Structure 1
């Protein structure tokens, strides 16, 4: 079973792309890491991130045992190397094939997308500033894909072609 991991800053389009891939590929499970750490008010410390990693790996393991599931798409903002490595190591221990991409975009495009997304409760000026500041970190990661000038379909095609999906 293949696991596609989509990482990147808030507002870059991880959820949109992940859902698009899942919808185009029958028998695909979609996991949004935010579901696994939905605390009110939000607390993003080592303890809560560790809990979310455990929750994500539990879901991945359960989907891997389901005969109706043939692929998993996991989207989550992993801006700590230890979080990303914990996810990768955990999925490897389950015995699944991993393909990972980090989505990035220009500051201008991030702001534009942010302003267009009126449905998400996280789209505040405070979180936009945090996301902009995180761009430089995500740009240093391996296997990045700049989505600034790409449509959802083009990003999905690039990911699908890179990872031999479909």
Structure 2
């Protein structure tokens, strides 16, 4: 059965790096980063754009999940509230797939260091540090990447999927 793998976590925790490598190592896979649907200038968060982004994500995920070329559909995004995941899944309810929700987390010191190395602003770092706590109660499989390299994190996720 086709698998939808949702990888969430706070900004800077390593979702894109993990998913990029995961997609390369899983045969017959495709990856959608939710951030791609927000790449607009100026970046404006309003009701119209939220609806548009959610519609675009739904359209792409639905297309990937119904395409016979793929066995694994990887979707990464911040998704810091359960209701966000529930709303996303409700729009895919007409499809059959196995769901895996993976939450990436790390220590505050590791997060700060990674974001500084990525040249993130202090405002972005502080916002991400504040949000990291919202993932504690997530109904998901948590992978703490604080002391883990990229290859190890991907292997851990792959072993859970296979």
Q: Does TM-score exceed 0.5, indicating one fold?
A: yes
Give every structure 1 segment of 4 or more consecutive aligned residues whose post-TM-superposition deviation is greater than 4 Å.
none
Question: Hey, what does 1:40 align to over in structure 2?
Answer: 41
Instruction: Give, in whole Å, the separation in 2 of the partners of 1:87 and 1:66.
Output: 19
1:139 equivalent among 130, 136, 139: 136
Question: Hey, what does 2:109 align to over in structure 1?
Answer: 108
Superimposed CA distance per residue, residues 17-45 of structure 1 (whole angstroms, 9 cap, x where no aligned partner): 01111000122111000112223222335
Question: Hey, what does 1:94 align to over in structure 2?
Answer: 95
Question: Hey, what does 2:146 align to over in structure 1?
Answer: 148
Deviation at 1:111, TM superposition (A): 0.8
Instruction: Give, in whole Å, the separation in 1 of the partners of 2:134 and 2:148.
Output: 21
Deviation at 1:47, TM superposition (A): 4.5
User: Are the structure 2 counterparts of residues 22 and 47 from structure 1 closer, same or farther at C-alpha, using a change threshold of 3 Å?
Assistant: same
Instruction: Give, in whole Å, the separation in 1 of the partners of 2:73 and 2:118.
Output: 25
More moved, 13-22 vs 87-96: 87-96
* Root-mean-square deviation over aligned CA pairs: 1.7
- SS of the equivalent of 1:101 reads strand
Runs of 5+ unmatched residues, structure 1:
none
Deviation at 1:89, TM superposition (A): 2.3
1:161 equivalent among 152, 155, 159: 159
Question: Hey, what does 1:76 align to over in structure 2?
Answer: 77
Aligned 8 A contact 2:81 2:134 in 1: no
Q: Give the count of matched residue pairs.
A: 160
Aligned 8 A contact 2:82 2:138 in 1: no
Question: Hey, what does 1:18 align to over in structure 2?
Answer: 19
- SS of the equivalent of 2:92 reads helix
Deviation at 1:51, TM superposition (A): 2.7
Aligned 8 A contact 1:92 1:98 in 2: no
Aligned 8 A contact 1:13 1:103 in 2: yes
Runs of 5+ unmatched residues, structure 2:
none
- SS of the equivalent of 1:91 reads coil
